[in-house]
Amino acid sequence: MVLPVQDHYEVARARAVQRLEGRLAPERLSALGAERSEDALAVVLPCLCWQLSVSTETWQVSLLPEGVGVSVLWEILALNYLGAEAPRSPRSFLSFADIAEARGYQGAFSSRVLGRLSGGVGRDRDSLKHAVARLGGFAGGGEPLCCMLRFFPLLEFQIMHHAGDQDLAAACNVLFPDNLLSLFSMEDGIVAAERLVSALEGKTPAAARSAQ
């Protein structure tokens, strides 16, 4: 039996909640860059330029300070990050091709992340720098343009923007931190990169609800 797409999301969310339960010790949350809320009823998790609130009663994830619920994809990412079994800090960055576990996902990554970024906000260097700064990231100088963004406290992405010429259009590449698989599955890593592109386009976790 093949589950409908929405059922897949709900199954993934339920598994993330099950993995997270019992892993809310203050020292563990601190190592992940998260903390308990003042009333101890939620976990506050920094995410790009935002803060997410994860209820420890319902496991619903909302965007602070408004308290608006986020899409199920953002929920799954936040819950899986907080439930990571052996998280560690990043030391370097890897291209998609350098990750053995990424084999078989190149087509999805190229179309859903690289193609969308290069053909959209990443087409223009200044537009990309503005979008990166809006999300709290850093854009260097020189060529290629190197941008750093902290998606979650231990999950950072590097975007390389290569200027085009008369023969080639401008193009972007997204590099993953070498600690990715200590935090996420490869599938979640691709979803996080895709949500990063959405954020660069101006969408918030809440605004993405209708499109997931």
Supply the pLDDT for residue 212.
Answer: 46
User: What letter represents residue 12's amino acid?
Assistant: A
Segment 25-51 shows an average pLDDT of 95
Question: Which band of pLDDT confidence, cut at 50, 70 and 90, is reported for residue 163?
Answer: confident
**Distance, first Cα to last Cα, the chain:** 23
Supply the pLDDT for residue 2.
Answer: 40
Supply the pLDDT for residue 164.
Answer: 73
Supply the pLDDT for residue 169.
Answer: 81
CA nearest neighbour of 185 among 76, 22, 89, 95: 76
> Which residues contact residue 68 at a Cβ distance below 8 angstroms, ignoring those fewer than 6 apart?
62, 206
Domain boundaries, the chain: 5-82, 93-200
Question: Which band of pLDDT confidence, cut at 50, 70 and 90, is reported for residue 6?
Answer: low
Supply the Cα-derived Rg of the chain in whole angstroms. Answer: 17
Segment 53-69 shows an average pLDDT of 95
pTM of the full structure: 0.91
Supply the pLDDT for residue 142.
Answer: 80
| 111-157 pLDDT tens trace | 999 999 999 999 999 999 999 999 999 998 788 899 999 999 999 99
Supply the pLDDT for residue 209.
Answer: 43
As a whole number, the mean pLDDT across the chain is 91
| 172-190 pLDDT tens trace | 999 999 999 999 999 999 9
Supply the pLDDT for residue 102.
Answer: 93
